[in-house]
Amino acid sequence: MLMSFADRLCTFQNWANPFVQPRALARAGFVFLDEKDIVECIFCHIRLDEWKMKDIPLFEHYRFSPFCPLTLGEMPEDEASFDSQTTSRCVDSCLGHDVVG
């Protein structure tokens, strides 16, 4: 079963990399593996890390996995338009603070 955007966002509770925001990573299909800054796409299972300033998660995802359904725009319909109210609840309850991204 694929995780929703809000579920993916909740995996970033212990995210410490200041250069890339959890929302951008979750939008790009990634979950945080709770180790360093390693993330994994739930669609194609590619793992990326060593995020730097100015990295754009969706561009990096496409660069390293150009045939992923998410990078090709073939994601499930609910992924294309996530529920912002659910996301806000997740940010409040899972992350404990507001996340910009």
Per-residue pLDDT of the chain (101 residues; tens, 9 = 90+): 568 999 999 999 999 999 999 999 999 999 999 999 999 999 999 999 999 999 999 999 999 999 998 888 765 545 444 444 444 555 555 555 444 44
What is the per-residue pLDDT for 39? 98
Task: Give the global pTM.
Answer: 0.75
CA-closest candidate to residue 59, choices 101, 22, 28, 15: 28
**Which numeric CATH code is attached to 5-72?**
1.10.1170.10
- The tokens 């998660």 sit on which residue? 57
**Domain edges within the chain:** 5-72
Report yes or no: 45 and 29 within 8 Å, Cβ to Cβ.
no
